[in-house]
Amino acid sequence: MTTELIGKVTRIGKVKDYGQAVNWGRSWASNHKFFMKVETNKGEILAMVQCRADDTRWGFKIPKDADRQKPFVGDVVKFTTHNLRESKDGAKWASVTWNQSFEIVEVNQKAREERDAWVAEQKAKRQAGVC
């Protein structure tokens, strides 16, 4: 049974590699995911979303052409999960694997503008030699 959830993102985490060693430790099978906390009509949902990511010198980054982009705080997302698991502390967890859908329904334009302004500021500092 698949549950569809729609809600506003209240917290977002970094992309991390939750992969594992394969071929008796000779190879690594990457499994990139990011964390998000979403306020839905079923309450607060904590979700781990599988995504595609590249390893850069600043950490894992999702390519611009990837299907699943990391949302910003304030974005409205729609995703499906097979089951909501409840942890010992009462939090509801969802796992959004490649078999489930994930999309950003409504974007928070203010957050994107703030990020672009911050990036421009950091670039100016770097070019001026302040950093």
Q: What is the DSSP secondary-structure string of 18-43? A: --EEETTTTEEE--EEEEEEEEETTE
Taking the CB of residue 111, how many other CB atoms lie within 10 A of it? 15
Q: Which domains does the chain have, with CATH numbers?
A: 3-128 (2.40.50.140)
What is the SS3 assignment for 122?
Answer: helix
Segment 71-87 mean pLDDT: 94
Strands, DSSP E only, in the chain? 3-12, 16-17, 20-22, 27-29, 32-40, 43-50, 54-56, 59-61, 76-81, 85-86, 92-96, 102-106
pLDDT, position 58: 85
Summarised one tens digit per residue, pLDDT across range 52-65 is: 999 999 899 999 99
What is the SS3 assignment for 47?
Answer: strand
Return mean pLDDT, the chain: 93
What is the pTM (predicted TM-score) of this model? 0.84
